[in-house]
Amino acid sequence: MSSRSTLAAPVAREKQHPARRWTEHWPLPLAFVLAVAFWFYLDGQVSIERTYHCRIVTDRSVEPDALEGNDGILHLRVRDDYTISSVRPSREGQESSSTEDPPSLSLVFFGPKSALQALDGRVDFFVDIDPPTAGEQNASSRTTRRFDLRDLRSQGGTLARYLNKMQYDEIQVVLEQSETARFTLVPKSLTLRYPDPQEQWSRRVFLDTLEFTPAVVRLRGPSARLRRLVDSTELFELDVRELARMQKLLLPQGSGRERPRITFSLRLLPRYANEFSVQDEQLLASVEVAPPAWSSGEFELKVIADWSSSHLSPKEFALDRDTITFRIRSFDEQLTRLVKEGGDQWVQRWFRAIADIGRISRETDTSSTEFTTLLRAQFFFLGDESFVQGKHYEIEITSPLSLSRK
């Protein structure tokens, strides 16, 4: 009996040994994890310096909640009845010669590495610009304010406590009393940005079909500046470059007389965007765009000289040639088919080229024996009146026409 119990004891000890060994050594992995975590914590608490680039925006009455999600922006906020007409940096009281208005700004932060890394470029500050006092309003229509590093505020104050330096000693802001004026939109109000090649696309966008919504825009800005603007001032940008990506316009002609009408958003030109704001929720412009032009081969047509309204005599002057060569650029499927099928015979029947000699001004000196001047022949289509030159087709003259003294 005693020998069996003596032999059993070692077996029991061997079964308990692995568990006992793990419990003896388990603090080592935990200590390693804690050490690594503590190292990362200490690394995050190391103070570092980091510079961020900010764009100055002259928005009015921007609420702090609206700042969330913007990257690198300093908002200058002012009361609704005033507008910021100029923003200029300065050093030691001297105004900068920078032409950038408003300027950009670099801000230097100093603080824990973990906090600054969390910014990830998302730097949002605002400055509330004080309105003019009653005395300042009476003295001048313009009021100057200056702000420096101490005036910058951030949402919740979380960023401001790490702000250490600003690129400029101070920034000068000019305030002007603002008002709202109405302007009627016309094609001359726009600067167009075409896709490349610009020459080709400018022929396909028909500005005489422009329609604006709304037709009258409400513009707010400095009172004095608004009074100097007129309806024909180029205030807005119409960017039609996305036309190049619209596949339906790149397809062969197939829509007959109908051209697609495309709608675009209008925006103020950059040189006006900082001092004026559009009070309408949405500003749209729609315009008809032609499909790609089909270009014919070269045709030759007899030129008819019209002397009826001219002070010059056909006895003394003459055209340098009796015919003119040209191509037809068609934007219309039906016209394209007629030209292709009818060829030269169809063109000779339905087109006329007239040189109006009366277009030469009486003030033009024609006394020289070597006098010569270029003329542009006018082309007339005698067929279907619904085909309009400059809309459904263009004439591309390939041989210049001139008038000379005999």
pLDDT of residue 348: 95
Distance, in Å, from the CA atom of 2 to the CA atom of 388, rounded to the nearest integer, reads 124
Q: Greater confidence, 78 or 20?
A: 78
Extract the tokens encoding 356.
């109006």
Question: What number is the average pLDDT over the span 329-346?
Answer: 91
Compute the mean pLDDT over every residue in the chain, rounded to the nearest whole number.
79
CATH number listed for the domain at residues 294-405: 2.170.120
Q: How confident is the model at residue 401 (pLDDT cuts 50, 70, 90)?
A: very high
pLDDT of residue 8: 46
Distance, in Å, from the CA atom of 208 to the CA atom of 293, rounded to the nearest integer, reads 18
Choose from 50-54, 88-92, 330-334 the range with maximum mean pLDDT. 330-334
> Please, what's the largest Cα pairwise distance for the chain?
153
| Helix, strand, coil percentages, rounded to 5, for the chain | 30, 40, 35
Q: How confident is the model at residue 24 (pLDDT cuts 50, 70, 90)?
A: low
Question: What number is the average pLDDT over the span 179-204?
Answer: 86
pLDDT tens digits along 340-365: 999 999 999 999 999 999 999 999 99
Task: Give which of 102, 100, 402, 94 is closest to 275, Cα–Cα.
Answer: 102
Task: Give which of 104, 75, 74, 109 is closest to 88, Cα–Cα.
Answer: 104
pLDDT tens digits along 268-306: 998 888 778 888 888 999 998 877 788 999 999 999 999
pLDDT tens digits along 238-254: 999 888 777 555 545 44
pLDDT of residue 205: 85
Is residue 335 scored above 60 in pLDDT? yes
Q: How confident is the model at residue 56 (pLDDT cuts 50, 70, 90)?
A: confident
Domain extents in the chain: 47-177, 185-289, 294-405
Q: Greater confidence, 53 or 24?
A: 53
pLDDT of residue 120: 61
Extract the tokens encoding 109.
């932060």
Task: Give which of 377, 367, 361, 371 is closest to 305, Cα–Cα.
Answer: 377
Q: How confident is the model at residue 36 (pLDDT cuts 50, 70, 90)?
A: low
Question: What is the per-residue DSSP string for 214-267?
Answer: SSEEEEEEEHHHHHH--TTS--EEEE-GGGGG-HHHHSPS-STT---EEEEEEE
Is residue 402 scored above 90 in pLDDT? yes
pLDDT of residue 250: 54
Task: Give which of 290, 292, 319 is closest to 304, Cα–Cα.
Answer: 319
Question: What number is the average pLDDT over the span 136-164?
Answer: 77
Distance, in Å, from the CA atom of 178 to the CA atom of 325, rounded to the nearest integer, reads 59
Helix (H) or strand (E) holding 36: helix 27-45
Q: Greater confidence, 10 or 27?
A: 27
pLDDT of residue 82: 83
pLDDT of residue 357: 93
Q: Is the N-terminal amide bond of 197 cis, ω within 30° of 0?
A: yes
Extract the tokens encoding 283.
């500003």
pLDDT of residue 68: 47
Is residue 143 scored above 70 in pLDDT? yes
Distance, in Å, from the CA atom of 38 to the CA atom of 383, rounded to the nearest integer, reads 90
Is residue 52 scored above 60 in pLDDT? yes
Is residue 144 scored above 80 in pLDDT? yes
Q: Greater confidence, 175 or 231?
A: 175
Is residue 18 scored above 70 in pLDDT? no
- 3 state SS of 321: coil
Is residue 210 scored above 90 in pLDDT? yes
pLDDT tens digits along 94-122: 454 444 556 678 888 888 877 776 666 56
Task: Give which of 193, 211, 210 is closest to 202, Cα–Cα.
Answer: 193
pLDDT tens digits along 216-227: 999 988 888 888
pLDDT of residue 216: 94
Q: How confident is the model at residue 70 (pLDDT cuts 50, 70, 90)?
A: very low
pLDDT of residue 349: 95
